[in-house]
Structure 1
């Protein structure tokens, strides 16, 4: 961990991850599975993560005596069956090539086979926090769950389209793109400070930039993990000490950095973000990596903008 620096610029990057999941990622862990939509797929995938509870919710009670997880051998908490739910919790992440069979038997004798696989954000396999399983697609619960899923997907698409539209005309996103490419001379920024830190998962060089009416931070990341890609899940910018949310432009050289590979993440914020209640204030920038854990946080003093 880097300790706070004296002087005008303060930068603290923590490479020991602390738990802080985004609200959106929590909601995205709920999905609907209609068995009739997959008649040729006898085994249904469920994506799990270490120390994260996954529940399977059915239309009728589950027969606990005939529901079993095969080959779990100390890698899961004991299987839980409560009414219409099956509760799963891996003690650790599954290896990328692991798949454990789960057979759920309902009270009417219906057997539903599942294959538990490791979640992977980079392959689009998000952790299932709850899977609503329906046999009859025309039942009230099935249609209501499907409607919620469709509405959510439509909302996500609208938000993504709006985000892309705004980025097309955003000066801050254009500056972030130049920083990612290393074209610093084409921006109004000057290097204020550079720091390095290394842990078992990544090596990060953090470069703090001073600009005219803007501030920026560039993270040069080398992924040291043997198997997992590294990527940014979200960036959070708030005022100090008020905690009011502010926006920032984020650009990266790639959606994710493969094991052993390096990449750059650039973050730019406008000087107006430093204003709160008629005065200038400092900002607190937090970076959350692919698994939802906070990998870096930066204190940006308003002097970085030259004001």
Structure 2
């Protein structure tokens, strides 16, 4: 666990070490981009893997952060999980869908125990039902360093292609629901950019296309969809992304059928002109039912578009 704390802290630093660096140089020896890849196992363990954009990419292997947190095989969706250092070990919090219900989850883990959680620290607060029809869950937390403004938006994609957005207030209540239809072809989506005025997702479709979905924070919700690639992306059931450099994205594509994962360096999103560099197949077997990103700061920085 101490090793995890150090590597996650390093991920924050290395994500910001490459201002102005071309996406083709993200794997320089002096400052490599990395992603803290999270997962929930079939037995309900919360897990972590440190993925580094070396050539070829490296994987430190699966580490259990919290053991037996959720019912076996029931956790379907997850936001990024925020890691917050506290006395004695990390505190983790975020949202998960278990069965048909959405829950706020939180727990503390001992810094010296492999997957040992602090007794009495596990919180599963039910937010609401009806989530059995949802196929994606994402959260965008934005605040400038000045602290003069902040917002938190929650997104859910329903299986009929309707994309929903809620605004979460300071008391944790989800309010001001708005929605937009037309996303039935989306297979998976991941947040790659957030600013004061918009969020941007990268999404692949069942036919193999790759798109950005640019969503202004104004209401009603009016997404702007732009094609990035026209084919070959249909194999991924899950996408996980982290900032790389000042304007790039490190992207993991996970194929559940083959239990494999591939790493990509994606330049600042610009439609078909977006630079995408395939960094290679990740070592290891990726057989967890659910994958997500470990966020090492509550309001971390993503600027992929």
TM-score by length of 2: 0.25
| Larger strand share, 1 or 2 | 2
Which of structures 1 and 2 has the bigger CA Rg?
1
| Larger helix share, 1 or 2 | 1
